[in-house]
């Protein structure tokens, strides 16, 4: 396979607070290839948004700090760039769409001014050309009457339209990577469907690689090629979209898939994941999921498991797939429905 | 769920308009937000009626008006035959023992300066159900019922996570032994793994105490999971109401159909025809004439722009507000359908 476009290696972003060190992202590793859509899935507090801000180098310091790792973009480590060099990449080569279309636009500037600002800064066009380009971008994201609407203010747009504006702004400099942080979470389903469709279409046309951050497994299934599942700041399972739904290997992924009600399946009792997500301050040694894991073994509370290969391009951070688990323990997990044998599928 | 067919709550022609005024001192009404417009439905004893719709469709207003947290503009709501909207202050307070609400946001619906014990005990005192030691005992019992521990009574809301707070809200609603619980988006603020815990709890409580739910939510998978029947709202009106299985296997209203197809399914193997509705939901201040959905409808007929469709039973308790019905066979014939080809 060709070199990845963006490669995150062992990223660790910590926040130093009065209560202690919050390990928001703790050892994240993944590759993003050209034209690929990578899903980063996790619940609130799993570190998925902090990871995005780390890639953009937008972590407020203090209290936050990227303490370790590499973020290789086209072979260059973003963490080693000067602020000036980073400014030329941020918004230009790597752009971001935020969750809240209501708060991420400046209410006192027109849409056109906001889109043109990035174009003037990065593409060195004059104001007129930038405005023309802004209007073109609005047309691309299918805002009706785009040429007139560039002069409108954010409050004159609905939520779905604002998210379109955000996407237009992010794509205005034709970035290689688009990081979309829960882009449809604040929207209604019918509008969400419009935005997903739009993003797919634009990806086809622009060839942008997308990092899709979401908690919605449905959105992941619709949009992504590959997935990283995060829990308590750590990546616990990495694989293809097909395998994550058909053969989830990590007990957390498995639990997550069972706890959501299905639209087109018969109603049965939901199997929830018991307990609460842990506090990221003073995480106990061992696997962060162990206290909630129905298959937890003795080793799980003692040491944090490394990634184990569990199939073709499929890794899981779980001792069930090591020789540390006895046959009996593997059988028990299998009996519960988790494909626990590391041989299956490999 | 065991329903004996007896109707607990019947809502007839419910309307709630909010005036839109102009001027500062001499205010005059220049229009109205028709948040809820001519709603009729009933809930049987022991069943769960799901109310779905997108933001601004009036589903929360419906719940609040039924509880008279807001006064209706017109209509009737018969609870066990008595019209809620005609009750006096004292009668209403007694009735509130039978009808409780669970709010969406577990962070803002609990008073941060009260202990959990006081929060759950307050309705017991207001309705003079228990005092002193008896109250303490009852609070502890309720905490156990919702899966918390008795010692939690002395703690404050900020010490709990979102899911636990929602359990506290449920315990508070249960304190007065209500018959009907209006659950207004009870799980939408919670993480997926916690949602399942709360949904299971709600189902267990329904079985144990014979509760009736009006379950308001925007998440179709959640509503489908918990409801016996589902009402779909669009811009202040119910457009379709049917048994859950019937609604999902045989959606008749074009809006229901589009809504169902818009939900992303967590299964990459499943290929569905997706209907993508054009445009946004119009403003409820000046809703479209005729059928309110006609501006986005894929099957729109000239008459839809003029005549407001009646909401009527089209057979077997399947209610529908669409005159183009039965458009089913039309659909199979009409190749006009999806303008946007289904991509996946």
Torsion of CA B67, B69, B73, B77, to 10 degrees: 10
CA angle A340, A345, A346 (to 5 degrees): 100
Q: Which residues of B touch A196 (CB under 8 A)?
A: 264
CA distance A123 to B134: 73
pLDDT in tens, A158-215: 888 888 899 999 998 889 999 999 888 878 888 888 888 888 888 988 889 999 999 8
Is residue B266 less than 8 Å (CB to CB) from chain A? Answer: yes
Q: Which residues of B touch A217 (CB under 8 A)?
A: 192, 266
Cα–Cα nearest to A132, from A172, A164, A188, A162: A172
CA distance B184 to B9: 17
Is residue B163 less than 8 Å (CB to CB) from chain A? Answer: yes
Cα–Cα nearest to A270, from B149, B204, B147, B247: B204
CA distance A49 to A42: 10
- In contact, B121 and B135? CB cutoff 8 Å: yes
Q: Kindly identify which residue of chain A lies nearest to residue B193, measuring between CA atoms.
A: A273
Q: Kindly identify which residue of chain B lies nearest to residue A217, measuring between CA atoms.
A: B266
Q: Do A260 and B195 touch (CB under 8 A)?
A: yes
pLDDT of residue A267: 61
- In contact, B168 and B148? CB cutoff 8 Å: yes
Tokens representing A18? Answer: 């009065």
CA distance B205 to B100: 14
Domain ranges for chain B:
253-329
Tokens representing B9? Answer: 């709550």
Q: Kindly identify which residue of chain A lies nearest to residue B278, measuring between CA atoms.
A: A194
- Residue A291: asked if its preceding bond is cis (omega within 30°), the reply is no
Q: Tell me A90's DSSP state.
A: B
Q: Identify which of A194, A263, A277 has the shortest CB distance to residue B224.
A: A263
Q: Is the pLDDT of residue A318 over 50?
A: yes
- pLDDT band, very low/low/confident/very high, at B201 (cuts 50, 70, 90): very high
Q: Which residues of B touch A261 (CB under 8 A)?
A: 196, 199, 221-222, 224-226
> Distances from the Cα of B151 to the Cαs of A24, A185, B124, B131, B146, in angstroms?
31, 36, 19, 19, 13
Is residue B324 less than 8 Å (CB to CB) from chain A? Answer: no
Q: Do B262 and A190 touch (CB under 8 A)?
A: yes
- In contact, A327 and A297? CB cutoff 8 Å: no
Contacting B with CB below 8 Å, chain A residues are 43-44, 158, 160-161, 188-194, 196-197, 200, 215-222, 241-242, 245-246, 255-257, 259-264, 267, 269-274, 276-277
pLDDT of residue A333: 82
Q: What is the CA radius of gyration of chain A?
A: 21
Q: Identify which of B225, B280, B343 has the shortest CB distance to residue A160.
A: B280
Average pLDDT of the segment spanning A121-142: 90
Q: Which residues of B touch A277 (CB under 8 A)?
A: 161, 191, 193
- In contact, B322 and B329? CB cutoff 8 Å: no
Q: Identify which of B193, B270, B281 has the shortest CB distance to residue A259.
A: B193
Share of chain B residues as helix, strand and coil, in percent rounded to the nearest 5: 35, 25, 45
pLDDT of residue B4: 58
Is residue B1 less than 8 Å (CB to CB) from chain A? Answer: no
Q: Do A197 and B340 touch (CB under 8 A)?
A: yes
CA distance A220 to A178: 15
CA distance B123 to B224: 31
**Residue from B191, B273, B293 to probe the interface with A (highest A Cβ count within 10 Å):** B191
Q: Which residues of A touch B259 (CB under 8 A)?
A: 189-190
pLDDT in tens, A258-299: 888 887 776 677 888 888 888 888 787 899 999 999 888 888
3-state secondary structure of B239: strand
Other Cβ atoms less than 10 A from the Cβ of B308: the count is 15
CA distance B8 to B132: 33
Q: Is the pLDDT of residue A342 over 70?
A: no
Q: Kindly identify which residue of chain A lies nearest to residue B340, measuring between CA atoms.
A: A197
Q: Do A270 and B259 touch (CB under 8 A)?
A: no
Torsion region of B132: left, alpha or beta (phi above 0 gives left; psi -120 to 50 gives alpha): left
Sign of the alpha-carbon torsion through A162, A164, A166, A168: negative
**Residue from A46, A189, A244 to probe the interface with B (highest B Cβ count within 10 Å):** A189
Cα–Cα nearest to A140, from A190, A203, A94: A203
Q: Identify which of A43, A191, A245 has the shortest CB distance to residue B191.
A: A43
Which burial class, exposed, middle or buried, applies to B212 when counting CB atoms under 10 A from its CB (0-12, 13-18, 19+)? buried
Residue whose structure tokens are 């097909």: A242
Q: Kindly identify which residue of chain A lies nearest to residue B53, measuring between CA atoms.
A: A188
Q: Identify which of A189, A216, A261 has the shortest CB distance to residue B54.
A: A189
Phi, psi of A194 (to 5 degrees): -60, -45
Q: Do B276 and A200 touch (CB under 8 A)?
A: no
Phi, psi of A145 (to 5 degrees): 55, 45
Tokens representing B70? Answer: 């807001």
pLDDT of residue B2: 46
> Distances from the Cα of B93 to the Cαs of B69, B89, B180, in angstroms?
11, 6, 15
CA distance A30 to A35: 15
Q: Is the pLDDT of residue A343 over 50?
A: no
**Min distance A226 CA to chain B CA atoms (Å):** 11
Q: Which residues of B touch A44 (CB under 8 A)?
A: 191
- pLDDT band, very low/low/confident/very high, at B135 (cuts 50, 70, 90): very high
CA angle A142, A146, A151 (to 5 degrees): 140
Cα–Cα nearest to B256, from B266, B246, B265: B246
Q: Kindly identify which residue of chain B lies nearest to residue A215, measuring between CA atoms.
A: B192
pLDDT of residue A68: 92
Q: Is the pLDDT of residue B316 over 70?
A: yes
- Identify how many contiguous H helices and E strands chain B contains and give both numbers: 10, 12
What residues contact residue A202 under an 8 Å CB cut-off, 6+ apart? A140, A141, A167, A171, A208
Torsion region of B81: left, alpha or beta (phi above 0 gives left; psi -120 to 50 gives alpha): left
- pLDDT band, very low/low/confident/very high, at B330 (cuts 50, 70, 90): very low
Query: What is the total residue count of chain B?
Result: 344
Is residue B260 less than 8 Å (CB to CB) from chain A? Answer: yes
Query: What is the total residue count of chain A?
Result: 346
Q: Do A260 and B248 touch (CB under 8 A)?
A: no
CA distance A210 to A225: 10
Tokens representing A151? Answer: 């002069």
Other Cβ atoms less than 10 A from the Cβ of B124: the count is 19
- pLDDT band, very low/low/confident/very high, at B344 (cuts 50, 70, 90): very low
End-to-end CA distance of chain B: 36
- In contact, A240 and A310? CB cutoff 8 Å: no
- In contact, B211 and B195? CB cutoff 8 Å: no
Is residue B335 less than 8 Å (CB to CB) from chain A? Answer: no
Q: Which residues of B touch A245 (CB under 8 A)?
A: 266-269
Q: Do A264 and B161 touch (CB under 8 A)?
A: no
Q: Identify which of A44, A190, A277 has the shortest CB distance to residue B54.
A: A190
Cα–Cα nearest to A263, from B230, B164, B139: B230
Q: Do A189 and B218 touch (CB under 8 A)?
A: yes
**Min distance A231 CA to chain B CA atoms (Å):** 12
| Chains A & B: contacts with CB separation below 8 Å | 130
> Distances from the Cα of B11 to the Cαs of B63, B91, B321, in angstroms?
11, 19, 17
Q: Do B262 and A277 touch (CB under 8 A)?
A: no
**Residue from B188, B193, B259 to probe the interface with A (highest A Cβ count within 10 Å):** B193
pTM for this prediction: 0.85
Q: Identify which of A193, A255, A270 has the shortest CB distance to residue B274.
A: A193
CA distance B241 to B133: 46
CA distance A171 to A162: 14
Regarding an ipTM greater than 0.85, the answer is: no
pLDDT in tens, B215-267: 999 989 999 999 999 999 999 999 999 999 999 988 999 999 999 988 888 88
- pLDDT band, very low/low/confident/very high, at A340 (cuts 50, 70, 90): low
What residues contact residue A332 under an 8 Å CB cut-off, 6+ apart? A295
pLDDT in tens, A58-84: 998 888 899 999 999 998 999 999 999
pLDDT in tens, B89-108: 999 988 999 999 999 888 88
């Amino acid at each position: 396979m060709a070199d990845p476009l963006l490669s995150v290696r062992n990223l660790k972003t910590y926040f130093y607070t009065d209560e202690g060190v919050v390990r928001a992202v703790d050892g994240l590793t993944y590759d993003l290839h050209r034209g690929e859509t990578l899903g980063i899935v996790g619940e609130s507090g799993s570190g998925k948004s902090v990871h995005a801000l780390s890639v953009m180098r937008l972590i407020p310091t203090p209290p936050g700090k990227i303490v370790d790792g590499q973020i290789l973009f086209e072979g260059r480590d973003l963490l080693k760039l000067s602020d000036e060099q980073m400014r030329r990449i941020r918004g230009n080569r790597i752009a971001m769409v935020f969750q809240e279309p209501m708060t991420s636009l400046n209410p006192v500037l027109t849409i056109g001014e906001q889109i043109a600002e990035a174009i003037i800064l990065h593409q060195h066009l004059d104001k007129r050309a930038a405005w023309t380009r802004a209007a073109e971008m609005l047309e691309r994201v299918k805002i009706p009457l785009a040429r007139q609407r560039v002069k409108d203010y954010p409050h004159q747009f609905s939520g779905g339209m604002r998210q379109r504006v955000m996407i237009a702004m992010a794509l205005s400099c034709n970035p290689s990577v688009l990081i979309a942080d829960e882009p449809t979470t604040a929207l209604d389903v019918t509008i969400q469907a419009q935005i997903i469709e739009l993003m797919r279409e634009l990806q086809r046309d622009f060839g942008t690689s997308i990092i899709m951050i979401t908690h919605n497994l449905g959105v992941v299934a619709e949009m992504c090629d590959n997935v990283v599942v995060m829990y308590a700041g750590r990546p616990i399972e990495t694989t293809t979209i097909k395998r994550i739904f058909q053969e989830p290997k990590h007990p957390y992924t498995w639990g997550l898939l069972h706890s959501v009600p299905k639209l087109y399946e018969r109603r049965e009792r939901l199997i929830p994941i018991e307990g609460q997500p842990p506090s990221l301050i003073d995480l106990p040694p061992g696997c962060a999921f162990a206290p909630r894991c129905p298959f937890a073994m003795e080793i799980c509370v003692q040491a944090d498991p490394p990634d184990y290969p569990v199939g073709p391009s499929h890794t899981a951070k779980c001792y069930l797939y090591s020789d540390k688990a006895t046959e009996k323990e593997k059988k028990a997990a299998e009996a519960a429905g988790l494909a626990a044998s590391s041989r299956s599928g490999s | 769920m065991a329903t004996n067919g007896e109707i607990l709550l019947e809502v007839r022609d419910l309307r709630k308009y909010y005036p839109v005024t102009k001027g500062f001192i001499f205010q005059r009404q220049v229009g109205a937000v028709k948040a809820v417009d001519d709603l009729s439905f009933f809930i049987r004893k022991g069943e769960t009626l799901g109310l779905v719709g997108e933001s601004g469709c009036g589903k929360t207003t419906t719940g609040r008006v039924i509880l008279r947290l807001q006064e209706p503009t017109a209509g009737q709501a018969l609870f066990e035959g008595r019209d809620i909207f005609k009750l006096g202050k004292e009668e209403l307070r007694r009735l509130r023992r039978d009808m409780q609400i669970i709010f969406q946001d577990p962070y803002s619906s609990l008073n941060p300066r009260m202990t959990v014990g006081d929060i759950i005990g307050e309705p017991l005192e207001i309705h003079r159900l228990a005092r002193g030691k008896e109250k303490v005992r009852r609070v502890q019992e309720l905490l156990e019922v919702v899966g918390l521990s008795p010692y939690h009574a002395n703690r404050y809301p900020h010490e709990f996570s979102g899911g636990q707070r929602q359990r506290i809200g449920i315990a508070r609603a249960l304190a007065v032994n209500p018959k009907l619980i209006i659950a207004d988006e009870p799980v939408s603020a919670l993480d997926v793994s916690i949602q399942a815990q709360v949904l299971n709890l709600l189902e267990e409580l329904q079985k144990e105490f014979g509760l009736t739910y009006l379950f308001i939510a925007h998440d179709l998978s959640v509503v489908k999971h918990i409801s016996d029947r589902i009402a779909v709202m669009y811009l202040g009106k119910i457009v379709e109401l049917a048994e859950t299985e019937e609604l999902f296997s045989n959606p008749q209203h074009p809006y229901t159909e589009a809504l169902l197809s818009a939900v992303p399914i967590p299964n990459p193997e499943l290929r569905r025809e997706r209907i993508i509705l054009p445009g946004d939901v119009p403003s409820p201040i000046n809703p479209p004439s005729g059928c309110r959905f006609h501006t986005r409808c894929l099957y729109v007929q000239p008459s839809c722009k003029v005549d407001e469709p009646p909401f009527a039973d089209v057979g077997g308790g399947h209610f529908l507000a669409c005159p183009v019905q039965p458009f089913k066979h039309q659909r199979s014939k009409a190749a006009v359908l999806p303008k946007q080809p289904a991509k996946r």
